[in-house]
């Protein structure tokens, strides 16, 4: 209840004749919004004061300005005393006031000893000032000395800097609060789905698996955390439920698809692949597959929480994914995952510093000898299925014959996932729906990947991504070549480099010694030959 008040909650509201559940933010978000409005208001006030300060900015140095000001004031006083009478001011000398009889005013001219013009405020301006003093001028903005201007400008800059820091802190606090809210919403939905589940009374399935809590819900399945009473371990029970209103052929097709996934998955045994333990029937309209339990979120949820991942951690994830793909291509017959995406990469420890496991082989393709040709690949019989952001261009080609695919489909997916981890967005069709991607042929037009300036990513990582996202499948590297890519290889340790250098030096020394020995032996042989020849000639 405390989190609902602080972070927010779903509120049922009436819209016309229907009721809808709308999200309402809690008091923590309302407080942050209020502070954000205050910062915006203060920023506008600082900008206004800076504009006013610019108007008061002295044009020259303080000394030069004072000299010119004094000279101009002296000239102005002398000229005013001889030529004109200041407007709205009292003369400094004791001059009798000018009387202006009403009868003597004609066409704004004053008759008498002094000739002038009556202004709208009742004062008199001399005729010599008709061109310049007909209207009252606004008072000039008082100027500032350089010292005063510098002090005021420095104060505004400091206020602006403090405001910028406060705004940055507020953004960090907002991001942290949003992560809490995402977890809170996820938990609220989980509780709601668990209450609606037919297994909310925590039954024991197949006399072995005690259901503990609902982990997630899909279109036609639920995943429960369970405890294996026989093996004494936690497992994940994926309950598949067929719709009772489906026709028999649709039910048979769904069961066939699920059994196909089971037959592919059951033989897989690799530390980077989620293990499949068991499968059994619950009733006529539901059955269950038992999987290895991973105590953590998937990569998709992590990216929604943290936006991006540092290159080193992202590289570790990619290394593990490629290791799993290499295994899938080494077994007989090889397997194409085909639905590799962040949602199917589980973080066993809930963070990117630990191990990962890939899961969900529902769309996998078996490259058996009947369907797969090493030179051309295999027919894509399920065109239109999958997650479009992570599929390569060849999967979207429409023609008389189905497109040919190979394990290079998964290589493309690796490149997209790595790019998304580093930059926080998908390289192609990031803000598009799957329908829009099809309508606009987004992936078919994805001929070249573009890299942003921020965040900073190494050239080696960019080169690796380009290899994965080569547009033509003929130009794209396969899984085995990808696993040998230099970016994924361990660096040569320092002692290894030193030992290698020492070996090279030893080999060079041995070669030099051998050459010297050969030269010495050749010289000895030559001297011996000449010595024998001299001895024989003397005899």
Q: What residue spans of 371-493 are helical by DSSP H?
A: 408-423, 434-439, 459-468, 479-483
Residue 238 assigned as binding residue: yes
The yes-or-no answer on residue 339 being catalytic is yes
Q: Which two tokens stand for residue 37?
A: 């409005």
Catalytic one of 298, 339, 360, 410? 339
Q: Which two tokens stand for residue 356?
A: 């990962």
DSSP 180: H
**Whether 112 contacts 104, CB under 8 Å:** yes
DSSP 372: -
461 contacts: CB under 8 Å, gap ≥ 6: 311, 315, 418, 422, 487
Q: What is the dihedral of CA 11, 15, 20, 22, to 10 degrees?
A: -40
As a 3-state breakdown, the chain gives helix, strand, coil percent values, each rounded to 5, of: 45, 15, 35
Burial call 409-445: b when 16+ CB within 10 Å, e when fewer: bbbbbbbbbbbbbbbeebbbbeebeeeebeeeebbbe
**Whether 185 contacts 204, CB under 8 Å:** no
DSSP 487: G
CA pair distance 190, 216, nearest whole angstrom: 7
Point out which residues pair with 236 in neighbouring strands.
225, 291
CA pair distance 428, 145, nearest whole angstrom: 57
Cβ of 268: how many Cβ atoms within 10 Å?
Answer: 18
Q: Supply the residues annotated as catalytic.
A: 339
Annotated binding site: 238
Annotated binding site for ATP: 238
């Amino acid at each position: 209840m405390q989190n609902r008040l602080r972070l927010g909650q779903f509120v049922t509201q009436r819209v016309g004749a229907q009721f809808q559940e709308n999200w309402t933010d809690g008091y923590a978000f309302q407080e942050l919004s209020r502070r954000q409005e205050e910062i915006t208001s203060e920023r506008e006030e600082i900008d206004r004061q800076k504009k006013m300060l610019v108007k008061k900015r002295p044009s020259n140095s303080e000394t030069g300005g004072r000299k010119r000001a004094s000279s101009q004031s002296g000239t102005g006083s002398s000229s005013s005393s001889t030529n004109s009478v200041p407007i709205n001011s009292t003369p400094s000398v004791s001059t009798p006031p000018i009387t202006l009889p009403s009868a003597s005013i004609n066409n704004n001219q004053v008759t008498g000893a002094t000739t002038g013009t009556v202004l709208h405020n009742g004062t008199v301006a001399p005729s010599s000032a008709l061109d310049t003093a007909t209207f009252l001028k606004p008072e000039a903005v008082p100027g500032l000395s350089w010292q005063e201007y510098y002090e005021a400008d420095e104060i505004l800059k400091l206020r602006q800097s403090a405001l910028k820091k406060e705004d940055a802190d507020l953004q960090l606090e907002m991001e942290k609060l949003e992560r809490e809210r995402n977890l809170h919403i996820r938990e609220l939905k989980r509780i709601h789905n668990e209450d609606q589940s037919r297994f909310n009374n925590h039954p024991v399935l197949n006399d072995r698996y005690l259901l503990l809590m609902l982990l997630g819900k899909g279109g036609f399945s639920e995943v429960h955390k369970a405890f294996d009473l026989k093996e004494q371990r936690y497992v994940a029970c994926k309950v598949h439920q067929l719709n009772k209103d489906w026709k028999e052929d649709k039910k048979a097709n769904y069961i066939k698809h699920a059994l196909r996934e089971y037959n592919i998955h059951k033989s897989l045994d690799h530390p980077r692949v989620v293990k499949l333990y068991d499968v059994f029937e619950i009733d006529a309209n539901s059955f269950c597959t038992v999987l290895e339990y991973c105590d953590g979120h998937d990569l998709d949820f992590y990216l929604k929480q943290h936006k991006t991942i540092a290159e080193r951690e992202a590289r570790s994830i990619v290394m593990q994914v490629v290791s799993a793909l290499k295994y899938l291509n080494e077994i007989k017959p090889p397997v194409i995952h085909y639905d590799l995406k962040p949602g199917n990469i589980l973080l066993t420890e809930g963070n990117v510093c630990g191990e990962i496991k890939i899961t969900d082989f529902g769309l996998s393709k078996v490259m058996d000898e009947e369907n797969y040709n090493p030179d051309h690949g295999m027919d894509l019989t399920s065109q239109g299925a999958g997650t479009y952001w992570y599929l390569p261009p060849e999967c979207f080609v429409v023609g008389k014959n189905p497109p040919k695919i190979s394990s290079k489909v998964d290589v493309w997916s690796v490149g997209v996932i790595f790019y998304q981890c580093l930059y926080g967005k998908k390289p192609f069709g990031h803000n598009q729906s799957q329908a829009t991607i099809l309508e606009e042929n987004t992936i078919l037009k994805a001929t070249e990947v573009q890299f942003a300036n921020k965040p900073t990513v190494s050239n080696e990582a960019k080169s690796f991504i380009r290899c994965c996202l080569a547009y033509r499948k003929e130009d794209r590297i396969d899984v085995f070549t990808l696993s040998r890519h230099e970016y994924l290889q361990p660096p040569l340790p320092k002692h290894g480099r030193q030992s290698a250098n020492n070996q090279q030096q030893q080999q060079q020394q041995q070669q030099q010694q051998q050459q010297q020995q050969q030269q010495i032996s050749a010289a000895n042989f030559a001297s011996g030959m000449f010595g024998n020849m001299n001895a024989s000639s003397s005899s």
